[in-house]
Amino acid sequence: MTAQADDELWSAIADPSRRRVLDLLVSNDDVSASWLAGRVPFSRQAVSKHLAVLEQAGLVSRRKQGREVLYQVEAGRLDQATRAMADLAAQWDRRLGAIKRLAEAAHAQATKSEGSHTSAQGDRHDG
């Protein structure tokens, strides 16, 4: 995926309302904006705007059937999105693991340094 496609994807799925529309489309393929609007707590106009963003990100496509426009999920793009999120999660796991190791090493060093500093002070008081 290109950086722009990634940005469109993350932007599209960042909004909870769009995720709700996407969830409904995953469960109910080939539905109209009116049908979707009847199942969400926002207007048909808002549904249409969310569908446009999802379509721009490649997550949804539409086709005309008579006078009605029906929307469906693009399974391939949704799979790409799932893999991209899994890759991102793995990257963050590696980064957080590295930060944890650095913090543990710094803590161990500080504890060791503190212990030797305390010993040195104790030696001076004995003399």
Collapse the DSSP code of 5 into the 3-class scheme (helix H, G, I; strand E, B; otherwise coil) and give the result: helix
| SS3 (DSSP) at 24 | helix
Based on the domain organization, do 8 and 69 belong to the same domain? yes
18 and 52 inside one domain: yes
Q: What pLDDT is stored for residue 10 in this prediction?
A: 87
Specify the pTM: 0.70
Question: What CATH number is given to the structural domain containing 41?
Answer: 1.10.10.10
> Which of 36, 54, 73 represents a domain boundary (last residue)?
73
Q: Kindly tell me the burial class for residue 22, based on how many C-beta atoms sit within 10 Å of its own C-beta (0-12, 13-18, 19 or more).
A: buried
pLDDT in tens, 86-115: 998 999 999 999 999 999 999 999 988 887
pLDDT score at 123? 54
Contact 90, 42 (CB under 8 A): no
pLDDT in tens, 56-85: 999 999 999 999 999 999 999 888 888 888
